[in-house]
Amino acid sequence: MKLLQITDIHLTALGKTIGGRDPNANFAKALNHAITHHPDAEALIITGDLSDWGDAADYERLKAYLGEVALPVHLCIGNHDDRQTFLQVFPETEGSDGFVQSVIPLSLGHGILLDTWGQDTHAGQFCEKRAAWLEQTLDTLEGPVWIFMHHNPVPIEIAPMDEIMLLDADRFAATVAPHAGKIRHIFHGHCHMHLSGSLHGIPFSAPRGTNHAGWPDFAATKLLSGADLTESYSVIFASETTTMVHMVEYGYAGEIRGEGSPDYADWDQLTMVR
């Protein structure tokens, strides 16, 4: 199974930039790169912050972009989004209790898309209703299960970022822990950093995003830190026994060198590129 994850696209009014970068152009570039190089992917999941200000025009533009994509696309919402405005443009994504969450069939198990959006906050929310839905869904589904969400469910140990992580992290952890044997991976965004780790033995990962990048300033106390790192998305490969996640830095414009053969017999100090 091959899946694509794009996150934190932050579409905004045409002509406006974020961190000196054009989110619309960068998302279009990411989308083109992903579907050109990975036309065999069975689905693309975009894990939130679809719009920078939750504007309807951004969602309409996103809908137009996705109308050109042949493979199935599934959407989560993040803290920069506005749920009601989003649902006006993408009404088919509304699930139980009005949340933007659903189950998607995959060739290897199922994906679960979660809604961690909260009103008037950048922090993630996972209320009792959402927990009950996830618990019932996990009880019903056979494994493997792949969870997609916006907010990080585990602290990254950078104080300003952890103030806006999934605040109901204990409730989320208690919900997924009994099903750790069937949940193969959790995919999130939000932090604008390439991250990986585990929660109750369940691996998780996040790519950097398609526009502005974060920076791990562990001494920060109030402000989030950014850096001019390359934009990225994830390519996910999975089999019955393995999961591999690549971060593809599609924004890289430098040289890609051929450094030699993997055949040990061809290794030579005089000819190997170093």
The answer to whether 27 and 9 are in contact (CB under 8 A) is yes
pLDDT in tens, 93-134: 999 899 999 999 999 999 999 999 999 999 999 999 999 999
DSSP state at residue 77 = -
What average pLDDT does the chain have? Answer: 96
Q: What is the pLDDT of residue 266?
A: 78
Residue 158 has pLDDT above 90, yes or no: yes
pLDDT in tens, 66-101: 999 999 999 999 999 999 999 999 999 999 899 999
How far is Cα 43 from Cα 70, in angstroms, rounded to an integer? 10
* Kind of pairing between the strands at 202-206 and 195-199: antiparallel
pLDDT in tens, 26-61: 999 999 999 999 999 999 999 999 999 999 999 999
Closest CA to 153 of 117, 111, 121, 198: 198
Radius of gyration of the chain (CA): 19
Query: Taking the domains of the chain in order of start, what are their residue ranges?
Result: 2-252
Q: Which CATH class is domain 2-252?
A: alpha beta
Where do the H-state alpha helices sit in 12-78?
23-37, 56-66
Q: How confident is the model at residue 252 (pLDDT cuts 50, 70, 90)?
A: very high
Q: How confident is the model at residue 261 (pLDDT cuts 50, 70, 90)?
A: confident
> What is the average per-residue pLDDT within 231-236?
98
In the chain, the N- to C-terminal Cα span, in Å, equals 35
> What is the average per-residue pLDDT within 183-204?
98
Q: What is the pLDDT of residue 274?
A: 74
Q: Is the peptide bond before 144 cis (omega within 30 degrees of 0)?
A: yes
How far is Cα 52 from Cα 82, in angstroms, rounded to an integer? 10
How far is Cα 217 from Cα 25, in angstroms, rounded to an integer? 28
Q: What is the pLDDT of residue 258?
A: 83
Can you give the length of the chain in residues? Answer: 274
Q: How far is residue 113 from each of residues 134, 136, 163, 215, measured CA to CA in Å?
A: 10, 14, 23, 27
Residue 218 has pLDDT above 90, yes or no: yes
Residue 271 has pLDDT above 90, yes or no: no
